[in-house]
Amino acid sequence: MTKPILDKEAVENLLPQKFPFVMVDKMFSFDETSLVAGLKIKSENIFLENGVFLEAGLIEHMAQSVALHTGYVFFLKQEKAPIGYIGSIKQINIKKLPNINDEIQSSITIIQEFAGITLVDIVTTLNNEEIANGQMKTVLAK
Amino acid sequence: MNKQEIIEKINGFLVDEFEVDNDDIEPNANLKDTLGLDSLDYVDLVVSVESNFGVKLVEVDFVGIATFQNFYDLIETKLKAKTA
């Protein structure tokens, strides 16, 4: 597996969410319009049920991967990142749910940014198998 | 592309993307109200324009855009600027 460029502690400093609600613990790559983030699903994860990582957790992981992109952009500008929200979920397809101790990755690609609203394409994989994809609109608080 | 072709192309993607009846699209009708646009929908409009015409709209472009005619004129102006 590719070595992350940001570890758990660095990622948590870039996200507004705090334990136990942080659903991203690695950043593997970043550029102006894309990012790859990861999460190891540990036993204490609040979205686990009978050892299965629930849909809500998967969607939160996808959204926080987008938030990490925003957080890192503002970090590079040496500015405080604004709070972001999921504005809408345009479409989400979940093909498979991961289990405890699995490591998932989400690749986000920014399709468009307009008036503080970002339309993002997201693909989540487990061991290089696509398990979810979708599009979200995120909104930055003004 | 002449003005009529621009209008037909715009109306075509608006009907598809925003599920509006083609008969409701009239030059003097209000763009926002007719399409039922909220603040989140504008990004879809911007994506549609970029994919159909290859021009990127920014926030300031929407200042003064009230009717479909205003919007057609905006796209025509953007296309002329692109090819100039």
What topology is assigned to A8-140 in CATH? Thiol Ester Dehydrase; Chain A (3.10.129)
B71 belongs to a structural domain: yes
Q: Does B51 touch chain A (CB under 8 A)?
A: no
Rounded to an integer, what distance in angstroms lies between the CA atom of residue B69 and that of residue B63? 14
pLDDT digits (tens, 9 = 90+) for A18-39: 889 999 999 999 999 999 999 9
Q: Which residues form the domain of B76?
A: 3-18+28-83
- Measure CB to CB from residue A112 to each of B39, B46, B59 and give the nearest one: B46
Token couple for A77:
């500008």
CATH number at residue B34: 1.10.1200
Question: What is the pTM for the complete model shown?
Answer: 0.86
Summarised one tens digit per residue, pLDDT across range A78-128 is 998 888 888 999 889 999 999 999 999 999 999 999 988 999 999 999 999
Residue A3 binned pLDDT confidence (cut-offs 50, 70, 90): confident
Chain B within 8 Å of A141 (Cβ-Cβ)?
A: no
Check: CB of residue B52 under 8 Å from CB of residue B13.
yes
Domain for residue B23, yes or no?
no
Say if residue A1's pLDDT is above 70: no
- 3-state SS of A10-64 is HHHHHCCCCCCCCCCCEEEEEECCEEEEEEECCCCCCCEECCEECHHHHHHHHHH
Q: Which pLDDT tens digit goes with each residue over B25-39?
A: 999 999 999 999 998
Give the closest-approach CA distance of B39 to chain A in angstroms. 8
- pLDDT tens digits for B39-72? 899 999 999 999 999 999 999 999 999 999 999 9
Number of structural domains found in chain B: 1
